[in-house]
A and B are shown apart, each in its own frame.
Chain A
Amino acid sequence: MTEKKPMVFEDVPVGEEYEDEYVLTPELARDYAEGIDDLNPWYLEQSPFGSPVANPMLIVAQHARLFKTKYSTTGNVHTRHETQFLNPARIGKKIKLYGKLVDRYIRRGREYLVMECRSVDEDGVEICRDRRTIITHYAKRPA
C-alpha cells in the first residue's frame, strides 16, 4: 500500500479534486446501522423503494474517504455539513464519490478546509450532494 503524505494545510490546494468508490454491501449497511443504533428495516431488509436502501448518512459519512485518497488525515475533525439528499442508495450498488476542495482559511487559530462532494451510483443516479467543512487538527496553531 502506498504511504500517504501527511496533510499539511498550506500544501492542500484549492481546486484539488478527489475520487473514490466502494460497494454498498449489506455488511456495510448493517455495520453502520449497529454503530448508530438505527436498525430500521428499510436499511437492512426491505424499503418502500423495494429493495433495502442505505441510511442516507452512511453515504455522507463515506465522503470522509476522499481526503484519504491523497493524504494521511489523522486528527481531522468535521465541523459542518450541508447536505442535499436526492435519491435512495440501493444496497448492492457501486458508489462513486467525487470531491473538490473549494475553500481553505484560518479562523481563530484553526485551519479549515471546505470540500464539495457528491455520490453517484453505478447507474448514474445521483444520491446526494454535500459541502463538508473540517479542521485539520483540533488543537489551534501556535500563535
Chain B
Amino acid sequence: MPIAVEELTVGLELEPVVKHMSLEKMSRPLMSGSNPIHFDPEFAKKAGLPAPIATGVMSSAYLCEMLAKAFGVEWIRGGFLDVKFIRPIYAGDTVTARGRITGTMETSTGLRVALDVWCETQRGEPVTVGTASVVWH
C-alpha cells in the first residue's frame, strides 16, 4: 500500500528493501549485459577487483522497488531518480535500500516530495547514493 498523503512528512523513512546478491543472479545476461566484470572472477581480478561486482542498476532497481511500494503509480509515471554508484557491490553481499523524505512542496500539479535515497551493504558502507522525487497528484 502506498503511503497516505498525510504521512508524507520530512524525516519519514521509507520501508527498506533488503536483497542478497548471489552470483547466480548477477550472472544472468539481463543483469550482467554479458559483461564479464559482473560474473567472471578471473576477469574481475585482472581489472583490480577482488570479486565480480554487481551492475549499479541492480541497486537502482532495489531503490525503485522501495519507491514504487511507497508511492505506487505516482512513481511509475513521474518519479525522478539521480544516483551515483560510489562503491562496488560484490557477490555474496547483502544490500539494503533506504530512503528518507527531505522536503515537501505544494506545486500546481500536486505535492512534490523530495528524498535522499541510498543502498548500503552489511558492512554498513553506502554503495549507491542519491536523491529522488515524485509528485503526489
Contacts and interface: CB of A to CB of B under 8 A. Distances in A.
Interface size class of B (residues with CB under 8 A): 35 or more
Interface stretch (B79-87, B99-107, B110-118): B79-87
B23 interface: no
B6 to A, nearest CB: 21
A40 interface: yes
Contacts, number: 112
Contacts of A32: 30
B76 A40 contact: no
A48 B19 CA distance: 26
A75 B56 contact: no
Contact of B56 (A31, A38, A79, A83): A79
B49 interface: yes
A53 B75 CA distance: 13
Given A36-B65, A37-B25, A80-B83, A74 B57 contact: no
A60 B60 contact: yes
Nearest to A38: B65
A55 interface: yes
B116 to A, nearest CB: 15
Interface string A53-76: 101110011001000100001111
Interface in B44-88: 47-49, 53, 55-58, 60-62, 64-65, 68, 72-73, 75-85
Contacts of B83: 80-81
B37 A77 contact: yes
A142 to B, nearest CB: 13
Given A36-B61, A57-B61, A74-B36, A85 B30 contact: no
B31 interface: yes
Given A64-B33, A75-B43, A88-B73, 8 more contacts: A37-B25, A57-B60, A61-B30, A61-B61, A78-B56, A80-B84, A82-B80, A82-B81
Interface of A: 28, 31-32, 34-38, 40, 42, 48-49, 53, 55-57, 60-61, 64, 68, 73-88, 137-139
Interface of B: 19, 25, 28, 30-31, 33, 35-37, 43, 47-49, 53, 55-58, 60-62, 64-65, 68, 72-73, 75-85
